[in-house]
Amino acid sequence: MRGTRAQTNTGRKEGVNLNKQQKQKKETTIDSYYSPNGTEGERSANDKPEIPANWIQAVEELKTQLREAEDNWGKNLKIKISHLETEALELKQENGVLKAKIIQLENEAKEMKDEAKEMKDKAKEMKDNLKRNSDQKEKDDQKAKDEIQSLRTRVKQLESSDLTRQQDTIKQNKKNEKIEENVKHLIHKTDNLENRSRRDNLRIIGLPEDHDKRKSLDIILEEIIQENCPGKQEGKVEIERIHRSPPVFNPQLTTPRNVIAKFKNNQIKEQVLQAAKKKPFRYHGNMVRITQDLSASTLKDRKAWNMIFQKARELGLQPRIKYPSKLTIFLQGKVWSFNTTEEFQAFINKRPDLNRKFEVQQQNSRESSKGN
């Protein structure tokens, strides 16, 4: 649009200059008939033609009007052009160009007005949107502030409740530790009481199930004792109670159930147990093993010593399982006792020579198991 205005102004200036030149030619032609002293046709060649003052004033007015037309967006161009047409008929051809320029300017002005209106509408719309967004942002900010305040209040409440809960947890943990200690103590006492209640019992392992169909278990046990340790027991073998454990037979088991026998005479029970420790018992060609009957937890603790017990026996450490589940070995003229497998492993780690023997033995056991 600026380029179009510049072209329009240039055209206007060219038209004004051309008009001036034509006026000068016309004035010179008229003056040529008169001499300086008033004689027609005689005029000095050195004298320049004079331009009338009213033409210069008209041109200046035209320039002023064109500037005002440019500044006022072409509102008064038609009035100025009409006034100029009455004053200078010679400018009709140039006025046509000016009219086209003016129409173009009017169109541009109209377009600019439309664009200005559109921009104004857009600005208003943007302003409305900004206002709405600002209002919404204020609402969101207020909502966020309220939520933050609510969260702070909840955090304080949670911190307070968490502190209370931590204190309660500490108290509860202390109670739980005390309860655990009491439970361990009670379990130990229960196991001890159960083991003591079983001190007159013997457990017979490996006795086939089919023998029960022909004879009662108390008769079978008496025959086993007479067959394997004749004349060693003092007095008659009296059995208070004898049964299979568990009481219900499971056909999926491949091994016979254990037999639990409660002796009336503890001395006879001890004689049978000592004899069973010296040699394996047999009954009708089947090997049976007789051990002390203990609680399930004690048997589990003793079972944990099986592998270590076997290795210690192979190394000649003379291992023994003492009541309730303590391992003892004989080493360097001393008897060493261990309550857990961890204690025994720490003892072995402190003696490199003994530890190497255990590692070699363990490696041999692995190779033999792979070969099998």
Which residues are CB-contacts of 206 (< 8 A; sequence separation ≥ 6)?
Answer: 255, 256, 286, 287, 288, 289
Cβ(298)–Cβ(244) under 8 Å? no
Q: What is the dihedral of CA 173, 178, 182, 185, to 10 degrees?
A: 100
pLDDT in tens, the chain (372 residues): 444 444 444 555 555 455 555 555 444 444 444 444 444 444 444 555 566 678 888 888 888 877 776 777 666 666 776 777 777 666 666 667 778 888 888 888 888 888 888 888 888 888 888 888 888 888 888 888 888 988 888 888 888 888 888 888 898 899 999 999 899 888 888 888 888 888 889 998 888 888 767 788 888 888 888 888 866 555 567 888 988 888 888 888 888 888 999 998 888 888 888 888 888 888 888 889 888 888 888 888 888 888 888 888 887 888 888 877 888 888 878 888 888 888 888 888 887 777 777 776 666 666 665 555
Please spell the DSSP secondary structure of 110-161, one letter per residue: HHHHHHHHHHHHHHHHHHHHHHHHHHHHHHHHHHHHHHHHHHHHHHHHHHHH
* CATH code, 252: 3.30.70.1820
In a domain, 90, yes or no: no
In a domain, 356, yes or no: yes
In a domain, 20, yes or no: no
In a domain, 10, yes or no: no
- For residue 264, give its domain range: 200-293
In a domain, 154, yes or no: no
* CATH code, 347: 3.30.250.20
In a domain, 3, yes or no: no
pTM: 0.47
Number of domains in the chain: 2
